[in-house]
Structure 1
Amino acid sequence: MTSPGVPPAWVGWGAAVCAFAFAAVSLAWALGSTVGLDTLGGSIERMARDRDPTLLAANAVALVLKVLGGVLALALVQPWGRRLPRRPLLALGWLGATVLVLYGVLQVASVALVAVGVIVPSEPISDQALAWRLLLWEPWFLVWGLLLGGATLRSQRLRRPTTSPDPDGHR
């Protein structure tokens, strides 16, 4: 059981699952799988199908960042993470959470505006790709960011236990 005001440990596990699942998708596409590419639509789908070197490089960078994001999430809630420098760990957690939440909000909002016809994209996007992006791909960033923020808050609020009591019996 957690103390009041301290998020449960599952938020870190949830952030890690989001990160590693997202990384697995990137890895599959980097290795040439075309499964699910039609859920992206537009030029990104075309570039992926054409194995565009720029997109492949961006995908490789994204893959590494997603794996590191999963490791970060685990470091925030696992005992081994307590051995890492606290301030840099918290700074990376808050930075990652902020970037993911902002990106997720902006992407969900922009795709929603396309879906309702307020914004007309420069190139057509299929209804299928629009639905996938609105209901899965873009919210995934938002959910991942919120979970990572919860894991960072948990780590920040929990006191680092000392290894042993002092001679007077105090910690």
Structure 2
Amino acid sequence: MTRSAQASPRTTKGGRWLGWAVFVVGALYAVVSAYWAVGGTAGLDTLGGALAEMARARDPQLIVIVWSTVVLKLVGAVLGLALVQPWGRRVPRWLLLTASWGATVVLVLYGGVLVVAQSLIAVGVVPRASSFDPVAFYWHLFVWDPWFLLWGVLLGVATLRFARRRQDPGSHSANQG
């Protein structure tokens, strides 16, 4: 079988699940934010403090910020698919790698730092603030912040697999300018 007749390594089943996992994790996060942006109130207590109050009050600045995060989360979700889908070949390889590594760093650092800091608070190494909100704290410790970390790790592994792949004719090699 000739090289051009073989399935592209970017579209083989072995690595596609990573791109889809990145997409699903990011898209679900975007859906939650969009729900809150349109006025949904379920789960706002898990955000905590002033943020939850601002969301309930429909603070216009917060709504703009939340919609902005929805867009960023969707972009981050689509990055995972761009790494494994044929249409991703239209994006210059250097741009896709730069965006994916950049998003990986942001997600892993954000989620990782928060999970570590909150874990130190949870075990008593760092004292709790006087305004400690146990509902929001434990949701952030066990759901919201590990979700960012997981998303970043998945994107990082997908990006690493993509970066290590030898380019096949017609992939990103023609777009490397």
- Indicate the residue corresponding to 2:129 in structure 1: 121
Counterpart amino acid of 2:34?
L
TM-score by length of 1: 0.85
Counterpart amino acid of 1:137?
W
- Indicate the residue corresponding to 2:105 in structure 1: 98
1:67 aligns with 2:62: no
Per-residue Cα deviation, 1:83-126 (whole angstroms, up to 9, x for no partner): 2100010011001001100001111122223323413236231x
- Indicate the residue corresponding to 1:167 in structure 2: none
TM-score by length of 2: 0.83
1:149 aligns with 2:144: no
- Indicate the residue corresponding to 2:6 in structure 1: none
153-162 or 65-74, larger mean C-alpha shift = 153-162
Per-residue Cα deviation, 1:50-89 (whole angstroms, up to 9, x for no partner): 1112211110110110011111110011111122100010
Per-residue Cα deviation, 1:127-170 (whole angstroms, up to 9, x for no partner): 2222211110000000000011111111111122214xxxxxxx
Q: Secondary structure at the match of 1:124?
A: coil
1:44 aligns with 2:51: yes
Contact 1:94 1:152 in 2 (8 A): yes
Contact 1:39 1:132 in 2 (8 A): yes
Distance in 2 (CA, whole Å) between partners of 1:106 and 1:84 is 31
Gaps of at least 5 residues in structure 2 are: 1-8, 171-177
Distance in 2 (CA, whole Å) between partners of 1:16 and 1:119 is 37
Per-residue Cα deviation, 1:14-50 (whole angstroms, up to 9, x for no partner): 1111110000001000000001111112111111111
Q: Secondary structure at the match of 2:83?
A: helix
- Indicate the residue corresponding to 1:166 in structure 2: none
- Indicate the residue corresponding to 2:34 in structure 1: 27
Aligned length in residues: 157
Root-mean-square deviation over aligned CA pairs: 1.6
Distance in 2 (CA, whole Å) between partners of 1:131 and 1:49 is 21
Choose which of 139, 147, 150 in structure 2 pairs with 1:140.
147
93-102 or 8-17, larger mean C-alpha shift = 8-17
Distance in 1 (CA, whole Å) between partners of 2:18 and 2:162 is 11
Distance in 2 (CA, whole Å) between partners of 1:122 and 1:46 is 18
